[in-house]
Amino acid sequence: MASASLKLSIALTCALLLSSTCHGLQVGYYKKSCPLVEAIVRDEVKKFVYKNAGIGAGLIRMFFHDCFVEGCDASVLLDPTPANPQPEKLSPPNFPSLRGFEAIDAAKDAVEKACPGVVSCADIVAFASRDAAYFLSRMTVKINMPAGRLDGRISNFTEALSNLPPPFFNITQLIGSFAAKGLDTEDMVVLSGAHTIGVSHCSSFVSDRLAVPSDINTALAGILRRQCPANPTAANDPTVHQDVVTPNALDNQYYKNVLAHKVLFTSDAALLTTPATTQMVLDSANIRGLWEDKFNKAMVKMGAIGIKTGNQGEIRRNCRVVNH
């Protein structure tokens, strides 16, 4: 049961976003129609994350990449078809780097056995990202994730390119990209903290962080040059940890890394280029529990982007294909 304060927080968030957003979203949405769904998803996610923390990082990133393109509607899960040969998942921001699809498949299969045709893939993605955050943070990040999303039928390669902020964005571009989705500057700084887990392909940072003068820590730059080719190609594009200190923990180490100039992306370093965002980084790095609390709220807010309602969406039987 959502607390009165949480309900008010979600309502205020919805009021700030598009009118179609948040319609019908509530904590415990499946309490009557599929009471075990959240436990089922959590059990499946736990299996994958405990085998490979990178899958957990992928699930958190998947939620972000889903919500920023066509709203939180599981459009990122759709496979190519003759009618739609280039869906989101094949777009450069997602392919080949996005991970966790097999965890979503497993969760959907388990949920369908318990409650056929009831739970949307979009909600499973939201629950899976929440649960990945819970396990990777050693049970300290507890996101109160509402549900009630429908699955979309549109998935477009070029929309992923135009809506997902690339790693070379500066602070103005980052703020604008998030503002276009109803998220403010603090949300952007807080959600950037997810870069404390997971890996990055060398091609995402070599050209603008290692090949030219940058503020990156000299020792880290030396390590990265040994791990990455000077000119990464599709056939030679290794991955490196985004956070070399606590690579498999969802924690506030990212902000300490930003302050030490030990981050991979231009978009990470950009957080120190304005006084306001620099202060947010300092607070997240130094105030115990602050970032975790803000991350909880920012994930809920992001999860309300572009919600499909009524005939705008459906509940897919298979997360990889639209219903026919």
Per the annotation, does 233 bind a ligand?
Answer: no
Distance CA 96, CA 118 (A): 31
Long-range contacts: 247-251, Cβ < 8 Å, 24+?
Answer: 247/53, 247/197, 248/53, 248/136, 248/197, 249/136, 249/137, 249/138, 249/196, 249/197, 250/56, 250/60, 250/133, 250/136, 250/137, 250/141, 250/194, 250/196, 250/197, 251/137, 251/196
Per the annotation, does 23 bind a ligand?
Answer: no
Q: What three-state secondary structure class fits 133?
A: helix
Tell me the residue ranges of DSSP E strands in 216-279.
239-241
Per the annotation, does 196 bind a ligand?
Answer: yes
Per the annotation, does 33 bind a ligand?
Answer: no
Per the annotation, does 189 bind a ligand?
Answer: no
96 preceded by a cis bond (ω within 30 of 0)? yes
| C-alpha of 214 from chain center | 27
Residues 134/57, Cβ–Cβ less than 8 Å:
no
Per the annotation, does 165 bind a ligand?
Answer: yes
Catalytic residue (choose from 65, 201, 241, 261): 65
Distance CA 188, CA 76 (A): 21
Q: How is residue 240 annotated by DSSP?
A: E
Residues 78/155, Cβ–Cβ less than 8 Å:
yes
Count other C-beta atoms under 10 Å from residue 32's C-beta.
Answer: 7
Per the annotation, does 243 bind a ligand?
Answer: yes
Q: How is residue 194 annotated by DSSP?
A: G
Distance CA 148, CA 85 (A): 29
Phi-psi region of 323 (alpha: psi -120 to 50; beta: other; left: phi over 0): beta
* CA-based max dimension of the chain: 58
Rg over CA atoms, the chain: 19
Note if 324 is an active site residue: no
Per the annotation, does 268 bind a ligand?
Answer: no
Per the annotation, does 71 bind a ligand?
Answer: yes
Both tokens of 201, joined, read 């392909």
Per the annotation, does 35 bind a ligand?
Answer: no
Residues at the binding site are 66, 69, 71, 73, 75, 88, 165, 195-196, 243, 246, 251
Q: Which residues are known to be catalytic?
A: 65
